[in-house]
Structure 1
């Protein structure tokens, strides 16, 4: 298969969600991931998350890797920011456009991947996001990005959510979560949703804010709790705990 960006014939195993974010879900080495797709009867057990071997060549994957590396470092720093739940915390210095290009690249991969990997349809915005992510194209007013940090009782979340088309405050968007953060990528010609202050929308900003919110109030947190209570997810977590106890006893 040819690279779906440049057409090169030599594609690689390109991770859909960057492997660095996937590995953050693990508490310790030796754990595995359970990937659950809506409507899929059997979840997939994985060590590093989903990858598509027919999506990108190494060079094009590297272009997205630049934005992904910036987002990973930024989110790691922002998890150290202390603020009250429900408040808007200052990011300090931030390159808002790099965060937007990161989000555009993740969303585009899921428009270009295969159906069994969670392919989404966002119409003409797929090609627009491709230009923004790969070609460093000017960012139109119809695209912007905002982030929300989800907090569990112990401060972190142990899951991620792949991109899905969504509506936020009546505005079309692509929504996904990594590293304890929910990312809203606006894909709509209408003005930005006013649910969050203007400084939470990061396009063109060198400073910004993000909302700190309880995970249980968000779809991501609710889905995680619901799935964790049902088989086969509950059984998977039980088996994982048993393996952990065995490893501890054998040390």
Structure 2
């Protein structure tokens, strides 16, 4: 008996999404321009996901005064690290990197073990705090607003995501200009503009985080099913977006 491997997720294609692109692009331009008019120092937190490539492309095309940064957690896949340099070359820009404090990582490992994040949600979130949340605080320290690539469709924890919200933790405005975009629309833009994207997408990774906490998903599964797969669906956030 021949055992067939389960079909992995692949980037979606939708002709109707392509037809909607002109209106979506115009709306995204308007949203970003409004944010620029309302704030003095805006930063865009790019995880280098396909959504973030869309926003980066619009920032560069419109020559908007928005700084772009990424959080290099020290535990990223080689494909993600390669994409960072590829993206900078593609647009001719600099994307600032913020890294975790090495002493804090070493202390965590000494106290709990190198793979303690598998042991409990609390220990996983502590790891996320060291590798993501603390560096994010440094990245946003001199900004008065920040932008993300979050979308409502991504997970059960984001279904009520607003286009604009107040970030109480950092005491500033926060914007999610792709909140109402569908996955098919994001990919339609990426393909139309031939944007650089992570090679892991083609290997069945629709949502990409740190290497030990991300795995491929099967076709038809939730796109964040491969993130912290050992946890319940309602706990799958790192704490960056409370």
Report the TM range for the smaller structure's normalisation.
under 0.3
Query: Which structure dedicates a bigger proportion of its chain to strand?
Result: 1
Greater RCO, 1 or 2 (C-alpha within 8 Å, sep 6+): 2
Query: Which structure dedicates a bigger proportion of its chain to helix?
Result: 2
TM-score by length of 2: 0.26
